Chains A and B, each alone.
Chain A
Amino acid sequence: MTRRLIARALHAAAVCAVVATSVFALLQFAPGDPFATALDGTDVPPNVRAEWRARYGFDLPPLERFAHWGGALVRGELGYSASRHRAVAEVVRDALPRTLVLVGAALILGFAVGVGAALLQVRHHGRWQDRVLGALTLGGVAMPEFLVGLLAMTWLGARWRIFPVAGLGSLGDATAWPLWERAADYLWHLALPAAVLALAVASRVARHQRAALLGVMREDFIRTARAKGLGEWDVLLRHALPNAIGPVIALLGLALPSLVGGAALIERIFGWPGMGLTLFDALLARDYPLVLAAVLLATLVAVVARTLTDLVADVVAPRRVPVP
Chain B
Amino acid sequence: MTRRFALAVCVLAAACRGGDARSGGILVVSAGADAETLFPPLTVGNQGRAVTELIYDKLADIGPGLNTIGDGGFVPKLASSWEWSADSLTITFHLDPRARWHDGQPVTARDVQFAFRVWTDSAVGAVQRAALATVDSVSVPDAHTARAHFRERTPEQFYAFVYTLIPLPAHRLAALADTALHDAPAVRAPIGSGPFRFKSWTPRATLELTANADYYGGRPRIDGVVFAVAAQGATVAARLLAGEADFLEQLAPPDFKQLPADGLVRAQSYGGFDYAFVQFNVNDAAGRPHPLFADRELRRALTMAVNRATIAQSVFDSLARPAIGPFSRTQWTADTTVRGIPFDTVEAIRALDALGWRDTNKDGVRERAGRRLAFSVLVPASSRTRQAAAVLLQAQLKTVGVQVTIEQADFNAFLDRAHRGAFDALVGGVRTSPSPRGVRDVWGTPGPSRGAQNWGRWSNATFDAQVDSALAATNTAAVRAHFRTAYQAAIDDAPAIWLYEPRMFAGVHRRLTTTALRPDAWWSDIAHWTIDRAQRLPRDRRALAAP
A177 CB to closest chain B CB (Å) equals: 8
Given the known inter-chain contacts A31-B413, A39-B127, A153-B238, please indicate yes or no for A171 contacting B28, CB distance below 8 A. Answer: yes
B214 at interface by CB-CB < 8 Å:
no
Given the known inter-chain contacts A37-B411, A269-B232, A284-B412, please indicate yes or no for A42 contacting B539, CB distance below 8 A. Answer: no
A124 at interface by CB-CB < 8 Å:
no
A166 at interface by CB-CB < 8 Å:
yes
In the complex, which residues of chain A have a beta carbon less than 8 angstroms from the beta carbon of B238? 153-154, 157-158, 165-166
Within 8 A of B (CB), among A151-187: 153-154, 157-159, 161, 164-168, 170-176
In the complex, the answer to whether B417 meets A31 with C-beta atoms within 8 Å is yes
A-B contacts besides A41-B128, A172-B538, A173-B541, 8 pairs, CB < 8 Å: A43-B130, A43-B441, A44-B452, A45-B452, A48-B126, A167-B244, A172-B226, A172-B537
Within 8 A of B (CB), among A255-291: 268-271, 273, 277-278, 280-281, 284-286
B230 at interface by CB-CB < 8 Å:
yes
In the complex, which residues of chain B have a beta carbon less than 8 angstroms from the beta carbon of A31? 409, 412-413, 416-417
Q: Spot the interface stretch: B105-113, B201-209, B297-305, B347-355.
A: B201-209
Instruction: Pull 7 A–B residue pairs with CB atoms less than 8 Å apart, ordered by A.
Output: A33-B416, A36-B416, A43-B131, A43-B437, A171-B206, A173-B542, A271-B205
In the complex, the answer to whether B438 meets A42 with C-beta atoms within 8 Å is yes
In the complex, which residues of chain A have a beta carbon less than 8 angstroms from the beta carbon of B129? 45, 48
Q: Spot the interface stretch: B36-44, B51-59, B514-522.
A: B36-44
How many angstroms between the C-alpha atoms of A41 and B126 in the bound complex?
A: 12
Residue of A nearest to B124 (CB): A51
In the complex, which residues of chain B have a beta carbon less than 8 angstroms from the beta carbon of A62? none
How many angstroms between the C-alpha atoms of A140 and B409 in the bound complex?
A: 31
- Looking at B125, B202, B409, B417, the one whose CB has the most chain A CB atoms below 10 A away is B125
In the complex, which residues of chain A have a beta carbon less than 8 angstroms from the beta carbon of B130? 43-45, 48
How many angstroms between the C-alpha atoms of A154 and B234 in the bound complex?
A: 8
How many angstroms between the C-alpha atoms of A170 and B123 in the bound complex?
A: 40
Given the known inter-chain contacts A32-B413, A38-B36, A273-B204, please indicate yes or no for A170 contacting B538, CB distance below 8 A. Answer: yes
A59 at interface by CB-CB < 8 Å:
no
CB-defined interface of B25-52 with A at 8 Å, one 1/0 digit per residue? 0101000000011010010100000000
In the complex, the answer to whether A85 meets B182 with C-beta atoms within 8 Å is yes
B42 CB to closest chain A CB (Å) equals: 7
How many angstroms between the C-alpha atoms of A44 and B42 in the bound complex?
A: 11
Which listed residue, B123, B206, B242, B412, touches A37 by the CB 8 Å rule?
B412
How many residue pairs, one in A and one in B, have C-beta atoms under 8 Å apart?
A: 178
Given the known inter-chain contacts A39-B44, A51-B122, A153-B235, please indicate yes or no for A273 contacting B438, CB distance below 8 A. Answer: no
CB-defined interface of A20-62 with B at 8 Å, one 1/0 digit per residue? 0000000000111100111111111111100110010000000
In the complex, which residues of chain B have a beta carbon less than 8 angstroms from the beta carbon of A41? 44, 127-128
CB-defined interface of B403-425 with A at 8 Å, one 1/0 digit per residue? 00000011111011101000000
How many angstroms between the C-alpha atoms of A74 and B44 in the bound complex?
A: 34
CB-defined interface of B306-338 with A at 8 Å, one 1/0 digit per residue? 000000000000000000000000000000000
A68 at interface by CB-CB < 8 Å:
no
Residue of B nearest to A177 (CB): B541
In the complex, which residues of chain B have a beta carbon less than 8 angstroms from the beta carbon of A51? 122-123, 125
In the complex, the answer to whether B452 meets A173 with C-beta atoms within 8 Å is no
Query: What number of A residues sit within 8 Å (CB to CB) of B?
Result: 58
Which listed residue, A39, A84, A157, A176, touches B203 by the CB 8 Å rule?
A84
How many angstroms between the C-alpha atoms of A278 and B204 in the bound complex?
A: 9
In the complex, the answer to whether A269 meets B235 with C-beta atoms within 8 Å is yes
Within 8 A of A (CB), among B256-272: 258
How many angstroms between the C-alpha atoms of A86 and B127 in the bound complex?
A: 18
In the complex, which residues of chain B have a beta carbon less than 8 angstroms from the beta carbon of A281? 204, 231
Closest 4 CB pairs of A and B: A172-B539, A271-B230, A32-B412, A158-B238
Given the known inter-chain contacts A33-B412, A36-B415, please indicate yes or no for A166 contacting B239, CB distance below 8 A. Answer: yes
B274 CB to closest chain A CB (Å) equals: 13
How many angstroms between the C-alpha atoms of A44 and B452 in the bound complex?
A: 8
Given the known inter-chain contacts A42-B438, A158-B238, A165-B235, please indicate yes or no for A286 contacting B412, CB distance below 8 A. Answer: yes
Name the prevailing secondary structure of the B interface residues.
Answer: mixed
Residue of B nearest to A55 (CB): B125
B453 at interface by CB-CB < 8 Å:
yes
B240 CB to closest chain A CB (Å) equals: 9
In the complex, the answer to whether B539 meets A173 with C-beta atoms within 8 Å is yes
B20 at interface by CB-CB < 8 Å:
no
B243 at interface by CB-CB < 8 Å:
yes
Which listed residue, B37, B231, B409, B540, touches A172 by the CB 8 Å rule?
B540
Which listed residue, B179, B235, B442, B537, touches A271 by the CB 8 Å rule?
B235
Residue of B nearest to A94 (CB): B203
CB-defined interface of A123-154 with B at 8 Å, one 1/0 digit per residue? 00000000000000000000000000010011
B229 at interface by CB-CB < 8 Å:
yes
A88 CB to closest chain B CB (Å) equals: 12
How many angstroms between the C-alpha atoms of A52 and B36 in the bound complex?
A: 15
A122 CB to closest chain B CB (Å) equals: 39
Which listed residue, A52, A55, A170, A270, touches B539 by the CB 8 Å rule?
A170
Residue of A nearest to B35 (CB): A85
Which listed residue, A40, A52, A171, touches B26 by the CB 8 Å rule?
A171
Residue of A nearest to B544 (CB): A173
Residue of A nearest to B382 (CB): A284
B430 at interface by CB-CB < 8 Å:
yes
CB-defined interface of B122-149 with A at 8 Å, one 1/0 digit per residue? 1101111111000000000000000000
A307 at interface by CB-CB < 8 Å:
no
How many angstroms between the C-alpha atoms of A46 and B453 in the bound complex?
A: 11
B183 at interface by CB-CB < 8 Å:
yes
How many angstroms between the C-alpha atoms of A50 and B417 in the bound complex?
A: 18
In the complex, which residues of chain A have a beta carbon less than 8 angstroms from the beta carbon of B453? 42
Residue of B nearest to A285 (CB): B412
B539 CB to closest chain A CB (Å) equals: 3
In the complex, the answer to whether A273 meets B42 with C-beta atoms within 8 Å is no
Within 8 A of A (CB), among B438-466: 438, 441-442, 452-453
In the complex, which residues of chain A have a beta carbon less than 8 angstroms from the beta carbon of B540? 172-173
- Looking at A32, A277, A286, the one whose CB has the most chain B CB atoms below 10 A away is A32
B241 at interface by CB-CB < 8 Å:
yes
In the complex, which residues of chain B have a beta carbon less than 8 angstroms from the beta carbon of A166? 228, 230, 235, 238-239, 244
How many angstroms between the C-alpha atoms of A284 and B414 in the bound complex?
A: 11
Within 8 A of A (CB), among B85-126: 122-123, 125-126
In the complex, the answer to whether A46 meets B452 with C-beta atoms within 8 Å is yes
CB-defined interface of B532-546 with A at 8 Å, one 1/0 digit per residue? 000001111111000
